[in-house]
Amino acid sequence: DLGDPINDGPAYIALMQELRVMLDELEAETGRSYELTSAIGVGFDKIEKVDYGQAIQYMDYIFA
């Protein structure tokens, strides 16, 4: 199973948003800083599936 091409992009963005909320809560509890990063494949078939411009608002870095 290679995933769901229609829903994978929105699911990735939702995951980054949820992780950001969780990390922000953890930062408030611990006083430590946590970064949210992702390494992505640079093939066009991978990049076109996700709106990384929308995802980056929840992330610190995207490595390609």
Q: What is the pLDDT of residues 12-43, one digit of tens each?
A: 999 999 999 999 999 999 999 999 999 998 88
Full DSSP string of 2-64: ---TTTHHHHHHHHHHHHHHHHHHHHHHH------EEE----HHHHTTS-HHHHGGG-SEEE-
Domain boundaries, the chain: 8-63
pTM: 0.87
Residue 20 or 44, more confident: 20
